[in-house]
Amino acid sequence: MRDGVMRALAGGVAVLGASGLLAGCGAVSAGPDEVCTETREAFRQYVARIRSVPAAEPARWRQETEKLAGRLDELADEAADDDVRKALEGEADRLRGAAAAVGGGDVAQLDTVMAEAPAKIGDVCD
C-alpha cells in the first residue's frame, strides 16, 4: 500500500514540476540578473533528474531535492539583488525541509514547495 501511495504522490510531484514550476519560472528568466535564468535551469534539471528516480527510492528523491537546495544556495550567493538572494535562500530552506520528509516517503511538503516556488521566485525576478 505504501509503495502505491508513494508512486501516486511521486507522479504528482513530477507533474507539478513539469507544469506549474517550469511554467511559472518563465517569469524568472525575465529578471535582469543572470541568477534568475540559472535558477530556472536548476529547476528544469531537478525535474528531469527526479523523473528518472523510481518512486520506491525515497532516499534518492531526498538526495536530488537536497542537491537543488544546495544549488539555490549557490545562486543566492551570486545574486546582486537582496530580494533575489533572500527568495533563493528561503526556497533552499523549504526544499531542505521537504527533502527530509521525502526521505521518509512523504512528498506532501515537496508538492507544496514545488507549487509555490514559481510565484515566490518569479515575484523577485520580474
**If we measure between CA atoms, which residue out of 6, 28, 42, 14 comes closest to residue 114?**
14
Look at residue 13 and tell me whether its pLDDT is greater than 70: no
> Rounded to two decimals, what is the model's pTM?
0.78
**If we measure between CA atoms, which residue out of 36, 55, 47 comes closest to residue 95?**
47
Chain Cα centroid distance, residue 68: 6
Type of residue at 110: L
Instruction: Express each pLDDT in 65-92 by its tens digit.
Output: 999 999 999 999 999 899 999 999 999 9
> What is the percent of the chain with per-residue pLDDT over 90, rounded to a whole number?
59
Give the pLDDT mean for 31-49. 87
Look at residue 5 and tell me whether its pLDDT is greater than 50: no
How far is it, in rounded angstroms, from Cα 97 to Cα 85? 19
Look at residue 2 and tell me whether its pLDDT is greater than 80: no
How far is it, in rounded angstroms, from Cα 118 to Cα 101? 21
SS3 54: coil
pLDDT of residue 98: 95
How far is it, in rounded angstroms, from Cα 109 to Cα 126? 26
Q: Specify the higher pLDDT residue, 99 or 23.
A: 99
Domain boundaries, the chain: 2-125
For all residues of the chain together, what is the average pLDDT?
81
Q: How many CA atoms lie within 13 A of 7 on its CB side?
A: 6
